[in-house]
Amino acid sequence: MKHILETYSPENIYNADETVIGFRALPQSTYVEREHKQKQRGFKTAKDQVTVLVTCNMNGDKEKLLLIGKFKSPRCLRRVGTLPISYAYSKNAWMTATIFEDWLTLWDVLLQREGRKVALLVDNCSAHKSTMSLQNILLHFLPPNITSVLAQQTQSSSSAS
């Protein structure tokens, strides 16, 4: 990690990660009177979701978001000519190795046109395991559970101050 940080300038060191956005879901717990709660039993929580891939460099510059939905041509996007984001789909709206490699290939072509070489830090999710050779992107996998380790270090350093 130290070698990567020394080799690349901050504007060429990126981190990419996915987040899931659940919608049409009711909260897991509420402040409702007991008799109202008993009437509401038997309802299942909606599990509608989309996944968003967010990519940002150390300077805070963001790349175009990648939205992953469940449908090839969602109704809400049928009459839309262009989007300010990229769109892909999978059966369960999750990141897949194919979607990740397609996204990497398109970004690599864009970086070749700009004449930039970047380091991309990603977690070690199985969908991120790419064997393809990229010309302008150095793919670097973060160690397992690094997010929780960094969060604990941040909390302890902020509580000490």
Domain CATH for 81:
3.30.420
Q: In what order do the strands lie in the sheet with 49-57?
A: 86-89, 66-69, 49-57, 13-22, 118-122, 137-141
The whole-number pLDDT of residue 44 equals 61
Proportion of the chain above pLDDT 90, given as a percent: 48
Would you state the structure tokens that stand for residue 161, as one six-digit string? 């101050």
**105, 88 contact by CB (below 8 A):** no
Residue 62 gets which letter from DSSP?
Answer: B
> From CA 149, how far away is CA 120, in angstroms rounded?
20
**Domain boundaries, position 24:** 2-160
Q: What percent of the chain has pLDDT over 70?
A: 77
Let me know how long the chain is.
161
Mean pLDDT (the chain, rounded): 83
The confidence band for 128, taking pLDDT boundaries of 50, 70 and 90, is confident
pTM (predicted TM-score)? 0.78
Counting the structural domains of the chain, the total is 1
> Pick from 42, 115, 51: which is nearest to 88 by CA?
51
What pLDDT shows up at residue 58?
93
The more confidently predicted of residues 10 and 132 is 10
Please give the pLDDT value at position 74. 87
Place of tokens 């604990």: 152
Which of 96 and 80 is assigned the larger pLDDT?
96
Q: Contact, 108 vs 90, CB < 8 A? A: no
Report which of residues 161 and 7 the model is more confident about: 7
| Mean pLDDT (whole number) for 41-58 | 81
